[in-house]
Amino acid sequence: MAETHAGPIAVTGNEAVAEAMRQINPDVVCAYPITPQTEVVQLYAQMVADGAVDTEFVTVESEHSAMSAAIGAAAGGARTMTATSSQGFALMWELLYVAASYRLPIVMTTVNRALSGPINIHCDHSDTMGGRDSGWLQIYGENHQQAYDNCLQSVRIAEHMDVRTPVMHMYDGYVISGAIGPLVILQDEKVRDFIGPFKAINPMLDVEHPVTVGPFDGLHGWYFEHKVAQNRAMDRSFKVIQDVADEFAEITGRHYGLLEPYRLDDAEIAIVVIGSTAGTTRMVVDKLRARGVKAGMVRVRVFRPFPHEAYAKALEHVKVVGVMDRADSFGAQGGPLFLEIRAALYDSDPRPQVLPFVYGLGGRDIFPDNIEQAFAVLEETARSGKRATSERRYLNLRKD
């Protein structure tokens, strides 16, 4: 895939990301194989073997070590990348916080997959939703092109001096990672110009000016202020993410925002959804619109930081919003996305109703019919003018 193509080519999601990584040509890649991310690591290993990149490629003995090694390399001053999924992501969890706290601009591809148990290798968003408070930026893609585009943009966002925070970008396991879809690849030089050189801040590489990274900050230290600084970087990253997306649009013609509304302007009911299911939802919206139903949709792109003001603005005119979560927060009022959307709309007046839907756990299929069922609930609630119960509605759940 080294040569560039004018038109779209057919690739798996993993091939799309491996290609992006080849073009980025990071200094260090540390990785451990896990289904369904494995292909990214294999393809990259071959690129290293073929001399297509001059990356230092470290095949570590676990994901915990993959993130540890990535942190070491990034602290040394290297542009560093890794990739993971599911249990591997869970095993990294301790180090996710460390990478974010040290403001190391690592970029990680995470292929969304369910967490055990029971053992399940299929797609849902439980893995990265569990890391939503780790201090990393989180960008979700819908399809192959977005997997590629988000990977490239993540490097710029993570390394921006207003952010300097690691970024994980996601796409759905199997549905995108293993299935074949269209991809338009940028020329290598365009990617190189877009990415630009990396300049590390206070790298440990500089042995003439030794620094300590990550020490105990004392019993009366600056931990609190440090955490506040991380959150301020999150606030600043909204603008950076948009600026990078706009610059990316100039060279590709592909436009991205913090969120992606669809037929929302005059919508009375709307669904908010993450990942590949957005494609199916868009189709259902069109079908409903053809019937005269004022349906709309928002696809979540950036989940951390969560652009709550943008969501309030986008959804405040909608009567009933259905939030589709492909992960659950056991014992909470709803899934993670539901909680965010509901909180974002709290200050709206009049306040739209927000109803929680859970779907697709452990790779359970989500059919257009299921999404229509969800819209039917929203439509009925809007028509009745009463407040519906906010209990979870499960889509395509088997009967006992």
Partner 1 sequence: MADVRKRQPKVCDYYTSEDGFSPGVAFCSGCVLELNLRFISRVLGPDIIFVGTPSCSAPVLHGQNTMAWHKHAYYACTMTGVASSATGLSRYYEKAGIDATVVCHTGDGCAQDVGFQTLSGAAERNEKMIYVCYDNEGYMNTGIQQSSATPFGASTSTTPTGRASKGKTTGSKNMPMVMAMHEIPYVATATLSHLEDYAKKLVKAKEAAKRGFVYLHVFAPCVPGWKIATDASIQVCRDAVKTNYFPLWEAEDGVFRITQKVKDVKPVEALTSTVGKFKHLKPEQVAILQGQVDQRFRMLQALCAGSAAVEAPAE
Give the H/E segment covering residue 38: helix 38-49
Per-residue binding letters, 275-314, with partner 1 (x by CB under 8 A): ----------------------------------------
Residue 59 touches partner 1, criterion: CB under 8 A: yes
Q: Which of 204, 312, 343, 388 binds partner 1 (CB under 8 A)?
A: 204
Q: How far is the CB of 155 from partner 1 (least distance, A)?
A: 17
Q: Could you tell me where the DSSP H helices lie in 291-362?
A: 308-315, 336-344
Give the H/E segment covering residue 197: none
Q: Which of 9, 16, 17, 28 binds partner 1 (CB under 8 A)?
A: 28
- In terms of CB distance, is 75 or 184 closer to partner 1? 75
Per DSSP, the three-state class of 324 is strand
Q: How far is the CB of 57 from partner 1 (least distance, A)?
A: 9
Residue 76 touches partner 1, criterion: CB under 8 A: yes
Residue 225 touches partner 1, criterion: CB under 8 A: no
Instruction: Taking the CA atoms of 52, 193, 160 and 257 in sequence, report the sign of the dihedral they define.
Output: negative
Residues 137-166 that bind partner 1 (CB under 8 A): none
Per-residue binding letters, 97-126, with partner 1 (x by CB under 8 A): -x----------------------------
Select from 307, 306, 359 the least CA-distant residue to 132.
306
Beta-carbon contacts of 203 under 8 Å, excluding residues fewer than 6 positions away, are: 75, 76, 77, 211
Residues in the chain: 400
Q: Which of 118, 210, 331, 385 binds partner 1 (CB under 8 A)?
A: 210
Give the span between the Cα atoms of 71 and 76, in whole angstroms: 8
Residue 74 touches partner 1, criterion: CB under 8 A: yes
Find out whether the peptide bond into 105 is cis, omega within 30 degrees of 0. Answer: no
Q: What secondary structure, in 3-state letters, does 216-273 show?
A: CCCCCCCHHHHHHHHHHHHHHHHHHHHHHHHHHHHHHCCCCCCEEEECCCCCCEEEEE
**CB atoms near residue 396 (< 10 Å):** 15
Residue 95 touches partner 1, criterion: CB under 8 A: yes
Q: Which of 46, 49, 94, 347 binds partner 1 (CB under 8 A)?
A: 94
Residue 216 touches partner 1, criterion: CB under 8 A: yes
Q: How far is the CB of 78 from partner 1 (least distance, A)?
A: 4
- In terms of CB distance, is 99 or 374 closer to partner 1? 99
Q: How far is the CB of 226 from partner 1 (least distance, A)?
A: 12
- # residues near partner 1 by CB under 8 A: 42
**What single string gives the DSSP state of each residue in 5-35?**
-SS-EEEEHHHHHHHHHHHH--SEEEE---T
Contact 298, 314 (CB under 8 A): yes
- In terms of CB distance, is 60 or 312 closer to partner 1? 60
Q: Can you give the binding site for partner 1, defined by CB under 8 A?
A: 27-28, 30, 56, 58-62, 64-78, 80, 94-95, 98, 204-205, 207, 210-218, 220-221
